[in-house]
Structure formats: C-alpha cells, structure tokens
Amino acid sequence: MLKPMDRRNFMKSLGGVVVATAAGPMVLDLVLPQGASTATAETLNTTMPTGIPILVNIVMDGGNDYLNTLVPVDNPWYFDTTYGHGPLAVDPATTLELTGLTHYRLNRLLPFLADRWNNTGDVAFVLGIGEQNHLNFSHFESMDYWQTADTSLLEPTGWLGRFNDMRRPGSPLASVSLGTLRKELEGATAPALVLNDISKFVYNVPAFDTDLFRSELTRMASIAGGGFMQEASSLISTTFDVTSQLQGAYDSNLVAGGPFGELADRLLQAAMLIRAGVPSQTYSVSFGPFDSHNNQNTMQSARFAELDTALTKFFAALAGHPKAADVFVMITSEFGRQVTANDNGGTDHGQSGMGIFIGAGVNRGVFGEAPTLDPGGPTRPNRVYDALKPSIDYRAMHFAALSRLSDPSTAQAVLRGNYPTLGVFNRPVVAPAPVPVVATPTTTPPTTTPAPATPAPTPAPTTGTVTALNPPRLLQRAQAKSRWARLRAF
C-alpha cells in the first residue's frame, strides 16, 4: 500500500532516489527540521573568520573506566583487592608523569595527552561529573542525558543543535557530524551535515545529466508556483552548493600514508574543513566500545591507542595553521565504571565519570571534585551499587564548552539553566596547575583481606533514584564468600 504523499513522505522519497544512487555516502540530510527555512545564499560559500572558537566533541561510547585513565597512584583504595580495582589496577611504574601532579599519573597509552600537559599546558581533566538526580545504569538513557543535556528522555533536540538554532538557524554548515548523525547536533531549525570522507563527497544522479536534472527541477518548481517542488528544488540546490564547497577542502597530504584508524581518519576530515574555513563551530564524533564487562585491560588498551593516534594526527594537521588557536576538543563518556573488578576481568556500569578538554584556551589542571574511593565500610554506603557518586552535574561540561563557543548567557539559554563554572577556560592560560582535589579516606584501608562481612541491605542513594534495564544481580566470589549485590545493565 502506498504511503500518503504528504510533505515529509514526498521529501523522503525524493531524497531516497538521490541518496541511494550517490557515488558516496549521502552527507547532507535533505529533510530540514519541520518548519525550518532553507539556507540563504549568505550561509554558503562563506568562511569562518579566524578567532572564533571551534569545538570538536569526542564521545567514548560504552562507559569509560576513568580510574584507569587518570590513575590515582597514591590512593590505597584504588589498589585494594576487596573494595578497589584489585587486579585491574594500573601499576604506577608504567604510568606517565604529569608535571605538577603528585596524586595522579596518566595511562601509558596516552602519551600525546601527557606531552600536551607537560609541554603545551592546555589539557584539563574534570573529575566527578555525572547525573546526580537520576542515577541511571542504562547506556541508552545515560547517552540521551549527555546528548540532550536533559534528563526527561523526551527532549527531541541535542545541546549543540539548540546552540546552532540560536546562532545559525537553517545553515547547512552549522555543524558537522563525523561518521553518523549524532543526536547532540540535532536542532529544530539547524540541519546537521553528516560526513565520512570528503574525497567521496559526490552528489550525482546516475543515468541523468546532473546539471540538466538540477535545472529541470528548478524549472518545474517555478511552474508549480511553490509548495513541495519549490522546497525540493531549494534543498537539492543547497546540497549541490555544499558539495562544491566541501570538495575544495580536501587535502590529500593530510591523509597520506593512511588509513590510520576510524577515529583518526574522521578527525582528519574535520581538520580539513577547519583549515578550509568551513563555517562550522561544532563537530562531533563517537568511537568505542568502552563497555568493559570482560577483559577490560585488553579492550581499554586498544581504545586508548586509537584515541592517542587520532589526537596526534588531528592536532598535527592543525599545527602552524591560524585556526589551530581556535580549536578545542571535549572528550566524555556516558558514565564511568564500578570500582570493584567483576569476575570476568572487567568492571560493570558505574556513575561518576571524567571529562577532558584539550586545546585553545584550556587551562592546565585537574578540575571538579573527585568522589571518594573510600567505600565507607563493608556495606559501602559511600557508593551506589559499588559505583562512585557524581559530585558535579554533568552539564557543567556542556556549560563550559558553550561558554567558550559563545558566552555564559547563551550557554544558560541553551541548557535552560545555570550550572557550575568549572574554570577550565576562565583563568589565564599561563596560570599554574591547581592542586587536584583528592578525597582523604575516612576508613583505614585494610592491610589484609578482612573476614567476609554479613551481607547488608543495598544502600539507598543519597540523591535521586536508581534506574536500570535489569534488576540488581548477585555476583559470587570464589570459595563461596558472600559479596555485595551489584547492579549491571546491558
């Protein structure tokens, strides 16, 4: 049965004909948000002036174990075999020194970050971030929190999409999603450009003369006197214009010797667009998985090596270019991991995580507030199902990034509220690194494994409610020792 030929179905059908037969992946969604105006000529064939901040948002999908990223090398609870990471704890002797820090060292597979910290001084680690009122162990719901900066699970737009709605409504180049469409870029009026490879950015119609197709569509629209055909003509014309502009940004020198891995290759596409002055302030990409229920050290090592290569290639591509002074990177994950290792050489879904800023205007330092690793006793009242409790609302990361892109008042309007000022971009760049916040244990760490405690009821979180896809499950220790009930969601 044929679908009714309303506006949206017509546009989808038209787009499907063109997109499905394109030589490369379709990189511009032809269907603008309902009610949005099409791009004006001023939004195309323009360049981004030097001096305007540009954000590259990198998402580590799956929930990264930040304790093994920025390693708390002098915290005994981290190494504890009963209440800490135990066999998963990183040996401090293998970690990388960070100038000015004594409590933390960096995972050895992230030498680019260590070098930027030590020599450029534009890396910031933000500890304790997470959703404080709806403690959620679900990947999908936690991702939605981060992508929309909203916890209702009903918000249709992303936080960067709303920013672009305010700054550049209707512009087809307001934002670039690298690989697949990222929800954080979806706006009400600003479409998102989805890009894989500029060299394959080809818009054509096989079996037709492309120029003739375009001119005839325009003629049909004028005869029709507006309506569907007029809108279709405008959208397709915009796509041709965008294709022409982006083709000019391709630089084969930046990808010589590649491919370098999916994340690195995608960030190099972003570097080309930035160098070419494409008028986008917001780029977003994700990679992973970081969901380390099994064999965490092997999996996380591979992901860190991929991230380090990607950051190295990306910043090298910008080095010496005037735009290099405009670009900053934000790295986040939907949540952290639980503190105690599970029985499969991994860790289960946690709560509090860590964010990273790198690049232009970033002040070197450890910001935020580290949650205590002290469990508080055998019943672990200082944790939520063995997960660290967030000490700072995760939207503080969004607020910092948006304030850098524009100003605090715009950030507040986009986020529909005011959030903690982290100070990541506020102090002079030459300011010395602040002393990291490290919680002092309130219970003396055991020097030997204590006798098994009588299982206690699951402690209720001190803030909000706990949501999960699956109910709590008991994990049995070897030798029939009782163990704390831990929440695990898939």
Q: Is residue 1 pLDDT above 80, yes or no?
A: no
Taking the C-alpha atoms of residue 368 and residue 379, their distance in angstroms, rounded to an integer, is: 26
247 lies in a domain?
A: no
Element (H, E) at 391: none
Structure tokens that stand for 374 in this block: 């002290």
Q: What is the pLDDT of residue 202?
A: 65
Per the domain annotation, does 30 fall within a domain? no
| Start-to-end CA span in the chain (Å) | 38
SS3 152: coil
Sign of CA dihedral 139, 145, 151, 153: negative
Asked, for residue 213, whether it belongs to a domain, the answer is: no
Query: Alpha carbon of 213 to those of 35, 203, 219, 236: distances in Å?
Result: 26, 12, 10, 10
Q: Which amino acid is at 458?
A: T
The amino acid at residue 385 is Y
- Strand 353-359 relative to strand 327-332, pairing: antiparallel
If you average pLDDT over residues 81-85, what whole number do you get? 95
Burial of 334 (0-12, 13-18, 19+ CB in 10 A): buried
At 315, is the pLDDT very low, low, confident or very high (cuts 50, 70, 90)? Answer: very high
Alpha carbon distance 146, 356 (integer Å): 15
How far, in Å, CA of 436 to CA of 367, rounded?
Answer: 7
Tens digit of pLDDT for each residue in 204-220?
A: 555 667 677 767 766 76
pLDDT of residue 454: 36
Let me know if residue 227 belongs to a domain: no
- Residue 55 forms beta bridges with which residues? 282, 328
Residues 340-359 as b or e (16 or more Cβ within 10 Å = b) = bbbeebbbbbbbbbbbbbbb
What pLDDT, on the 0 to 100 scale, is given for residue 56? 98
Q: Please report whether residue 24 resides in a domain.
A: no
Q: Is residue 216 part of a domain?
A: no
Number of structural domains (the chain) is 1
CA 217, CA 231: separation in Å to the nearest integer?
A: 11
Higher pLDDT among residues 487 and 56, named by residue: 56
> Do 357 and 124 form a contact (C-beta atoms < 8 A)?
yes
Please tell me what DSSP assigns to residue 349: B
- C-alpha–C-alpha distance, residues 306 and 183, integer Å: 23
Q: Cα-flanking dihedrals φ and ψ of residue 67, to 5°?
A: -65, -30
In the numeric block, the tokens 């050489």 are attached to 345
* Tokens coding 211: 């120029």
pLDDT over 70 (residue 174): yes
Q: Do the domain assignments include residue 65?
A: yes
Higher-pLDDT residue of 78, 44 = 78
**Domain containing residue 343: CATH number:** 3.40.720
Instruction: Please give the mean pLDDT across all residues of the chain.
Output: 79
CB neighbour list of residue 464: distance below 8 Å, 6 or more residues apart: 131, 132, 133, 134, 135
Given pLDDT bands bounded at 50, 70 and 90, which one contains residue 110? very high
Domain contains 245: no
* 349 phi, psi to nearest 5 deg: -60, 135
Torsion angles phi and psi, residue 456, rounded to 5: -110, 160
Number of Cβ atoms within 10 Å of the Cβ of 80: 21
Q: What does the alpha-carbon distance between residue 93 and residue 112 come to, in Å, rounded to a whole number?
A: 18
Residue of 473 and 61 predicted with greater confidence: 61
Amino acid at 146: W
Domain range spanning residue 358?
50-206+261-486
Fill in the DSSP letter of residue 186. Answer: -
Instruction: With beta carbons less than 8 A apart as the criterion, state whether 154 and 148 touch.
Output: no
Helix runs in 149-261, H state only: 159-167, 210-224, 227-247
